[in-house]
Amino acid sequence: MKTRITELFGIQHPIIQGGMHFVGLAELASAVSNAGGLGLITGLTQRTPEDLAAEIARCKTMTDKPFGVNLTFLPSVTPPDYPGYVRAIIDSGVKAVETAGNNPVKWMPMLKEAGIKVIHKCTSVRHALKAESIGCDAISVDGFECGGHPGEDDVPNFILLPRAAEELKIPFVASGGMADARSLVAALAMGADGMNMGTRFMATVEAPIHDNVKQAIVAATELDTRLVMRSLRNTERVMVNAGVDRLIEKEKALGSALKFEDIIGEVAGVYPAVMQKGEMDAGAWSCGMVAGLIHDIPTCKDLIDRIMAEATQIIRGRLEGMLAD
């Protein structure tokens, strides 16, 4: 399948793996890239720029296909060494970067000078237009269904994607609620040039996370996520568990008086405990509503091959078959 996204990143299939904390390691990124998609290493999971450079080097031993790095710019009292991370990406020769969080305008000259293609994750059309105006090459349009941070507008992809198609000149992919061939074909029909999958890639053989997490995703339905931290305007969609129940109780009890410090035990340092040790009730971890569509744990290659084969069947069989002669 050829789209503006496959052309932009030099990949075979219009499927991108989302950047996920303590999930986007070399094992997963290389497996997705080897299967014809675009794998992403999650930059901030690596504690230092040197660690990121080492992870990129490790990924290069596992694939000769294009892969990228996700770099999330977060507001912080003591921000990470962003100049160091950007330099590590450039020096490693990576040619694709997914930016997320704050506006990446400060880093665009360095990235563009190095010939890096930048795809920025946005939860609204206005932010997507801003990203286009500062020189981003593509957008990952993140609907309300997504795991992680859906923004504060609550616009699902059935509306958000066609709106993006109306406004944007640069290519974009659909993110949030993407799991299978139906997702891909629907995204293409609404104007996207591909899709970004996060939660779906967590439930794969190569995802370097505890089996408890994979089994929890397979067992979950579309009703098993919750939105937390809404009153802090830092809304996050997470998998329901005992830690999240505790967090929600605090939100109810404190109401508008809630401060981040009140819930830090349920959100800080959770990912190593969940993803590496399989402690499923440790606290809040991002998961999309799409868990309800995930029923198995295939290899990345089997998953992507299945999606592309079924997408062809849907387009050539089901949809073309509906057209009157």
pLDDT in tens, 16-70: 999 999 999 999 999 999 999 999 999 999 999 999 999 999 999 999 999 999 9
123 lies in some domain: yes
Is 240 domain-assigned? Answer: no
313 φψ region: left (φ > 0), alpha (ψ -120 to 50), beta (else): alpha
* Residue 278 DSSP symbol: -
> Is 322 within a domain?
no
φ, ψ for residue 143, nearest 5 deg: -80, 170
Global pTM? 0.97
> For residues 123 and 131, is the Cβ–Cβ distance under 8 A?
no
Distance CA 313, CA 181 (A): 9
Q: What is the pLDDT of residues 128-156, one digit of tens each?
A: 999 999 999 999 999 999 999 999 999 99
Give the chain's domain count: 1
Residue range(s) defining the domain that contains residue 80: 4-208
Look at residue 97 and tell me if it is in a domain.
Answer: yes
Helix, strand, or coil (residue 112): helix
Specify the CATH number for the domain of residue 21.
3.20.20.70
In the predicted structure, residue 255 carries a pLDDT above the cut 90: yes
Tell me if 290 is assigned to some domain: no
Q: Is 279 contained in some domain?
A: no
Give residue-wise pLDDT tens across range 170-222. Answer: 999 999 999 999 999 999 999 999 999 999 999 999 999 999 999 999 999 99
From the list 58, 8, 16, the residue with the least C-alpha distance to 33 is 16
Looking up tokens 């939660």 gives 199
Q: Is residue 224 part of a domain?
A: no
What pLDDT does 321 receive?
Answer: 93
Tell whether 270 is covered by a domain.
Answer: no
